[in-house]
Amino acid sequence: MDTPELSIRELDALFEQSPVAMIFTDTEMRARRANTAFRQLMGFPAGELIGRSPTRQPGVAQILDTEFVERTLTQQVIRDGAPVINVPLELTVAGKSKVAAWTAYRVTDNGRVFGVVSTLVDITGQAQADADLRQANARLDLLQQAGSRIGTTLDIHHTAAELASLVMPELADRVTVDLLDQLLREEDSANDKTELRFRRVGLGDSAETPTVTVPVGDMLILRIGRRATEAFVRGETILARTPAQLRRLELPPSVLQPLLERGVHAWLAMPLSARGVTLGVASFSRAENPEPYSDTDVRLLGDLAARAALQIDNARLYTREHDAAVTLQHSLLPRDIPPVAGLDIAYRYQPASQAAEIGGDWFDVIPLPDGQVALMVGDVTGHGVRAATTMGQLRTTATALTRLGSPPDQILRQLSGVLAAQGDEAGATCVHAVYDPRSRRCQLTSAGHPPPVLRAPSGSTELIDLPPGLLLGADPDFPYQAVDRPLAPGAILALYTDGLIERPGEDLSAGLSRLADALADSPAGSLEEVCDSVLARLAPHPRDDVALLLARSGPAR
């Protein structure tokens, strides 16, 4: 039995009653028919659609990108016969944003093209869900990045800049980080009842020419009693969703004015706290980004600020330890080197440029009763206050033994015993030299220390080959051996610690070669100039402590 063909009336009903929005346009892009679902989706009466192309209907141009639609239909669907399938189209209907899945295909009969049928399916909910999922994944990725991008150095300013770089421009157009100045200076602010003093340590702004009234390094003062200050004291997050709310926070002009000039419409400030201590405040602003801060934004920025606060506190504590170690180390090193007959002496001590690397390097020059002089340079393993304390203990012991007339090998054995008695893994290297200006001879002994370098009066250099000896603390009974060398008038003996020559991933011989070249190329003037020249060339910003002791022999007495 043959199936009867659908009548025109039935086809009309099928088209008109379809829940899917449909429109038929001819080859000239003129609308010939649109069903009820299409008119409802677009918000148009039927009469305004029929007989016109989308670009000739001003109302349609306000709803979607009519030029894109006509170009696609003309060049792709009609000319090439390639359909459009589920292409997202952004619509603005009655002031509301929508997203529709657009499908279009060519209608033909025996090779003749009649026009194009387009269908639109409202997928606004699905598109929003997809956007929310993408945003959630992006924010999760941002949290993961925070672990590797915030706190890469033990520097407060660098950490603040890393926080700003991470959140801009996705979450903020402007970021500031201000820390309590009293905390940075290790002062007690409990008695100050009138104001809070902050030091700006970070500022980021996505604008090409940002307005800055409080640059990094300057002071910011908040008066007690104002709304923003009281919220900070209580440890509360402050959120202003409009410029009017921002003005009511009673911020000082130096803070408020740049925000208003920047066009900020949303502002968020949250205390930076770590280990039970409130360090300061981080503020985030939006100007170009039109969206207000959501609860999700606040939680995310709170997590990022908490991570930054912990890293800032780490940097603060390391800086404090570094300063304490440097102060202790300087107090334990010789303040003045006494003049020595027959020797010209110059020395430098340079602490590490990184807080975690401050160590236990030391040097000393000890005149002896018989006119000789002892020269010592040593390096305690490890870093921090403990290494500096151990250094002071070794230097004091070595000085006492030297002045009592103990021979170098016995001095090193005694020092090794001091370290071994501590019962931990403490160790140190040391080179001990005794110079007799009458004979111009020098006796040198090493305990695992880099070899001394000798520059001849001609300018040539050589490494003095010493029996290596064990690290101090490894074996208190180890028999250290001495080597006797003459020093010609004008020869320079260089004793140093490994921070002068070592570089990560490089063989020690390369550093020794650089030191020899630096001594050979150093100026022929004063020994102080030689010291400066060698340091500037080899260790302008050392990762480890550097001690350098130069001794130039004079004529025989």
- Assign 332 a pLDDT band (cuts: 50, 70, 90): low
- Label each residue of 228-247 as H, E or C: HHHHHHCCCCEEECCHHHHH
What domains are defined for the chain?
8-122 (3.30.450.20), 143-318 (3.30.450.40), 333-553 (3.60.40.10)
- Assign 59 a pLDDT band (cuts: 50, 70, 90): low
What phi and psi values does residue 502 have, to the nearest 5 degrees?
-85, 145
State residue 520's pLDDT score. 93
Residue 2 vs residue 464, higher pLDDT: 464
CA 483 to chain centre: 49
Dist. CA 161–CA 140, nearest whole Å: 21
State residue 184's pLDDT score. 83
State residue 1's pLDDT score. 47
What pLDDT digit, counting tens, does each position of 361-401 carry?
Answer: 889 999 998 889 999 999 988 776 777 778 888 888 998 99
Dist. CA 346–CA 360, nearest whole Å: 20
Residue 57 DSSP label = -
State residue 355's pLDDT score. 47
- Pair 522, 530: CB distance under 8 Å: yes
State residue 369's pLDDT score. 84
Q: Is the pLDDT of residue 557 over 80?
A: no
Q: Is the pLDDT of residue 466 over 90?
A: yes
- Assign 443 a pLDDT band (cuts: 50, 70, 90): very high
Looking at the DSSP bridge assignments, the partners of residue 78 are none
Residue 209 vs residue 272, higher pLDDT: 272
What pLDDT digit, counting tens, does each position of 86-117 carry?
Answer: 999 888 887 788 888 999 999 998 889 999 99
Q: Is the pLDDT of residue 138 over 70?
A: no
Element (H, E) at 119: strand 112-122
Q: What average pLDDT does range 527-539 have in this prediction?
A: 92
State residue 230's pLDDT score. 86
Dist. CA 69–CA 392, nearest whole Å: 81
- Pair 455, 461: CB distance under 8 Å: yes
Q: Is the pLDDT of residue 189 over 60?
A: no
State residue 486's pLDDT score. 93
Q: Is the pLDDT of residue 177 over 90?
A: yes
- Pair 101, 87: CB distance under 8 Å: yes
What phi and psi values does residue 64 have, to the nearest 5 degrees?
-145, 175
- Pair 482, 469: CB distance under 8 Å: no
- Assign 553 a pLDDT band (cuts: 50, 70, 90): very high
- Assign 16 a pLDDT band (cuts: 50, 70, 90): confident
Dist. CA 509–CA 516, nearest whole Å: 11
Range of 43-47, 77-81, 415-419, 444-448 with top mean pLDDT: 444-448
**Three-state secondary-structure class, residue 185:** coil
State residue 46's pLDDT score. 56
State residue 137's pLDDT score. 67
Residue 324 vs residue 66, higher pLDDT: 66
- Assign 50 a pLDDT band (cuts: 50, 70, 90): confident
Locus of tokens 């307005």:
211
Instruction: Give the contacts of 158 (CB within 8 A, at least 6 positions apart).
Output: 152
- Pair 268, 239: CB distance under 8 Å: yes
Q: Is the pLDDT of residue 212 over 50?
A: yes
- Assign 533 a pLDDT band (cuts: 50, 70, 90): very high
R_g of the chain computed on alpha carbons:
39
- Pair 240, 292: CB distance under 8 Å: no
Residue 148 vs residue 536, higher pLDDT: 536
Looking at the DSSP bridge assignments, the partners of residue 23 are 34, 118
Among 343-347, 357-361, 463-467, the minimum mean pLDDT is found in 357-361
Please report, rounded to a whole number, the percentage of residues in the chain having pLDDT higher than 90.
45
Residue 478 DSSP label = -
Residue 397 vs residue 136, higher pLDDT: 397
Q: What angle do CA 229, 233, 237 make, to 5 degrees?
A: 80
Structure tokens at 467: 């029996």
Mean pLDDT of the chain: 86
Residue 123 identity (one-letter amino acid): I
Q: Is the pLDDT of residue 202 over 70?
A: yes
Dist. CA 513–CA 508, nearest whole Å: 9
State residue 159's pLDDT score. 92
State residue 239's pLDDT score. 94
- How many CB atoms sit inside 10 A of residue 345's CB? 17
Q: What average pLDDT does range 341-356 have in this prediction?
A: 78
Q: What average pLDDT does range 494-498 have in this prediction?
A: 95
Residue 53 vs residue 114, higher pLDDT: 114
State residue 531's pLDDT score. 92
List of E strands, 137-218: 174-180, 195-205
**Three-state secondary-structure class, residue 24:** strand
